[in-house]
Chains A and B, each alone.
Chain A
């Protein structure tokens, strides 16, 4: 046999094997992230929105009770209901994409600052303060911060005797309007209603706006980056660097520390794939398979950021002037997490 041709059959096999390779990338098991994506969508995002809607319902009930029976305990109960509803909202700020953004729901719930001048004028008017009326107002006249302003007062020291009847009415209508929005938000993700969730679960098909699972994972990761940036460089930095308390977002309720910590817990929930102690896989499962030490680092930095925020001395308002070092420590801890998410986690996702 001529030596030149003895490898011909092998050459032919190679040609046949690679000759007609397909351009389309096939999803191989290690590239299939559908379990992580589905879990984050169902057990973190939708679960958080369900809780937000439930807590907005409880807030509405408390505001109605307060209007019917304006007592100090009912006022305190309403304030606590506000804090309880605020929590799932802050826990959702690690995923401010999809309908919450594109349907304009965020500004209807969380506009800041409150338009106090117009609010005073509306209260002084004889307009019927109904849900429909509130629905038609700008976001700066309703939602969390308007309710907060009315419930706690500008200095946080409002007494039940300081309220006017119109304010109670306005609060009830605001609560009802907010509940309408939270319900809309929850429904917008459900497969049985708005079905935004299909964009996550069917990524890479024509049913989804996302061309690939990688695009969904980029969306999820950038959500974590965005809220870490917002906490470190917006929510903490603005009032702190300018020494200006009016720039503090949840100032009336003195709830800022809880807001910040819950924002970072939002990152944690997406990272671990958990909400309400459910057990699932999140971004951690993806990253730990590629780089276990990076996963450990993120988990640790999340935990440290939460501890540093909760260790801000007293209220955030007072700490800005009285304990700047604890504010700075918290800000640095969040910036550290932000830096890791941006410079280490994002590249892993981008290279999937």
Chain B
């Protein structure tokens, strides 16, 4: 071998070694993570992605899904009407889709006169019949700030912003905003002064059937109410009243895990959000209000319609992860784990048998990035309104799957229970309580690391 050839070879090997990247030291992504919803996963990067049916359903199930889609899109109007009667008399919005646009999350409203997909839960101190929130006499457990014509809405809602500026370790400043809501002009002038209010934004609808299929034992295995393992994270199950079974059950759905099943979640949304009664909730949402309608038309939707709409929410596809091999994504994932975010935002579960026997949801390895448990999130996020076992500072870990698609699906980047955050970074910076340590880690990150973390979140 000529000397020059040998030198050239050595040089080439050196050059190749020199361009060995940081990515090589990062853990190799598990390819199954791309299929975030197991066999229910759907692919692509477009605004209708949350509206795709799970691809692994039978033909009959796909047809039921399509029927449910019509119910989910249906706009209700004041009775009597030939089509979709039953709206109100008190309501927040007129269709499922008008809050869960494209099955995604609602933006924070521009203006208090049109709250869009934001609603206000209300209660007074004390506990209701099954340990749930105690209804406000004459107003119930949810404020309806809209009403059919000639009916005075329950009350008006106002909000003001409270701002605070955070300076991160690298000098970057972020202005956080917190909406402070007030209610005024209660219809009877008797809105109690001690009313507790909890603003909640409509959240994405994808993958919910899979949550029903996670075994209770798997969820409870992460409960650590007294933080025995000393990681600063407790994890608490909410137990709520199951109206169908007439007994207490593990809460899985909603910002405070206050609904046990999707059927109950859906029926509650029909009656509370739209004033549409169903066999599960046959009474209008305005018991005690003299303007409550006396029309003998309840239930306003049939069990068949409720079932189809429920099935629709059970059977939406889950978006595939994108760019899992990307160096930034892999780096961000490692940082996410190192900061302890996955202590609550648990990456993965394997579903058990779905309780209704839906085979397409059963035995799926899924990546929802939640533990479905309640955690103290600190004073900054507190609504100070208990909801069953959830106290005023506790929230259910929000699932993160699909979160990176929010700008494409819904045209905004508003996150958290009331939609206050204007970006994923703002959402992270609001984390306190059990997430205090993790947030501090993020605040101390270099700009490059923080960006990698956000790129990872964007890939979910």
Contact = CB atoms under 8 A, between A and B. Distances in A.
Give the residue among A2, A103, A104, A138 with the most B Cβ atoms within 10 A.
Answer: A138
Contacts of B81: 113, 115-117
Nearest to A138: B94
A9 B8 contact: yes
Contacts, number: 129
Interface string A114-136: 11111001100100000000001
A226 B19 contact: no
Interface string B123-166: 00000000000000000000000101110000000000000000
B46 A102 contact: no
A179 B295 CA distance: 37
Given A8-B1, A16-B15, A122-B149, A101 B77 contact: no
B16 A247 contact: no
A273 B412 CA distance: 29
Interface in A198-249: 209-212, 214-215, 218-219, 222-223, 225-226, 233-234, 238, 246-247
Contacts of A218: 44-46
Interface in A1-43: 1-2, 4-5, 8-9, 11-12, 15-16, 19-20, 23
A11 to B, nearest CB: 7
**Chain A interface mostly helix, strand, loop or mixed?**
helix
A112 B84 CA distance: 10
A12 B79 CA distance: 80
B150 A209 contact: no
**Chain B interface mostly helix, strand, loop or mixed?**
loop
B408 A209 contact: yes
B271 to A, nearest CB: 19
Give the residue among A20, A118, A226, A234 with the most B Cβ atoms within 10 A.
Answer: A118
Interface residues of A, number: 54
Given A121-B149, A138-B94, A116 B12 contact: no
Given A20-B19, A115-B77, A118-B78, A101 B101 contact: yes
A81 B248 CA distance: 59
Interface in A71-129: 97-99, 101-104, 107, 111-118, 121-122, 125
A209 B83 contact: no
Contact of B116 (A2, A104, A115, A210): A104
Interface string B264-289: 00000000000000000000000000
B101 A113 contact: no
Which 8 residue pairs spanning A and B have beta carbons closest together? A102-B411, A19-B16, A115-B77, A215-B45, A118-B149, A117-B78, A246-B82, A20-B19
Interface of A: 1-2, 4-5, 8-9, 11-12, 15-16, 19-20, 23, 97-99, 101-104, 107, 111-118, 121-122, 125, 136, 138-140, 209-212, 214-215, 218-219, 222-223, 225-226, 233-234, 238, 246-247, 350
Given A20-B16, A98-B411, 7 more contacts: A15-B13, A111-B94, A113-B75, A117-B77, A118-B149, A210-B408, A225-B48
